[in-house]
Amino acid sequence: MRPIPRPCSRRYFLVTTATAAACATIGASRLTAATAKQPAVPGYLRGYEAAYATHPRAAAIQWFRDAKFGLFLHYGLYSLEARDTEWLQFREKIPVATYAKLKGRFTAAKFDADAVTDLALAAQMRYVNVTTRHHDSFCLFATQQTDFNSVNSPARRDLVGELAAACARKGLGLCLYYSHGRDWRHPHAPNNDAWRGQPRPQYDPPEPTYATGAAHDLQQYLDFMTAQITELLTNYGPIAAIWLDGIAVPLSGDRTKFKCQELYDHVHGLQPQVLVSYKQGLLGTEDFFAPEHKAISNPSGKPMEICSTLQEKSWGYNASARNLNTDEAWAKLGAARMGNANLLLNSGPMPDGSIPPEHARVLRELGGRIRRDGFPAAGS
């Protein structure tokens, strides 16, 4: 793993300097647009120009409420094994070095961003959310923070970049899943010594690359994540949302150690329209809530999005899992709308990166039903 930038390092200076330059560029473009009285607006926010001109995030929140339906993609090294899905490394206690060998088989030969986005449009979806980096820490984007990524695999491809370009061409919002509370590779990620709920696999003998005791420094992991999220928000155009996962870990101890509000403020400073979610809400300052499978109590009135799957109990592709039929998927959409929530419906691409044919068929049939009958009615 490459060195992680620290606040006093030259590399950290370069990252933050690039961020400042990006923010200055954004500010300059806004000034030019304001002068022309035609404020620049991200493609997915066309139709919300007036609101965007005065409050970009408020415009994005209204867009999100109106969107109703999105496509979730869980894809990574775990997909290659087609079993036990994205928790494969944890549940089977695969050593870090052994698991890393999967990178040598990652080709994404049939991952097709145009096909994915066309399918989302056919299903009447307004946005796509992709796992940029799951708990195993393998990244689907061109990152300078680690060589454990798709560009440094046989695929030689930046899959996030390809999706970003396709979404921009077609007016879809791009949301970026990012594993925050859990990481099974980084030496200084939350460990089993300090956090309950087993953030790490329980290896026997212990994993030699993990920092423990006095040598463990959570700040190094926080710096790593901040640098990666900075890359995601400066290299891929307008982003609709940063979708954080792994909430059980900060909830199991002193959540202030994760400095999440600083991260949220950093995100909004880079792109003011970006919405931030951390599952059911870690601090209460998130822009929307994103529980799994069913709605939660929501006295705040903030937008809510329910994420669920097209494979029974599986997010990443599982060859032995049962696929839902169209009526079952429609029932999930109806339940979400009854709870005044969006539905983020997940498909786990197959090992080669293609969408399972059964999922593609269901998504097209859902779109046909929506075009014919409209979305299910929202709750009162």
Has residue 2 been placed in a domain? Answer: no
What count of Cα atoms within 13 Å lies in the side-chain half-sphere of residue 337?
Answer: 17
Has residue 7 been placed in a domain? Answer: no
Has residue 45 been placed in a domain? Answer: no
* Residue carrying the six token digits 């030019």: 32
pLDDT in tens, 247-298: 999 999 999 999 999 999 999 999 999 999 999 999 999 999 999 999 888 8
Has residue 43 been placed in a domain? Answer: no
* Residue carrying the six token digits 């928790």: 87
Has residue 379 been placed in a domain? Answer: no
Has residue 52 been placed in a domain? Answer: no
Number of structural domains in the chain:
1
- Tell me which long-range contacts 9-17 makes (C-beta under 8 A, separation of at least 24): 12/223, 12/227, 15/227, 15/230
Return the number of other C-beta atoms located less than 10 Å from residue 317's C-beta.
28
380 confidence band (pLDDT: 50, 70, 90): low
Has residue 3 been placed in a domain? Answer: no
pTM of the model: 0.89
- Domain with 154, as residue range(s), is 64-373
Has residue 50 been placed in a domain? Answer: no
pLDDT in tens, 202-221: 999 999 999 999 999 999 99
Q: What is the CATH number of the domain that holds 99?
A: 3.20.20.80
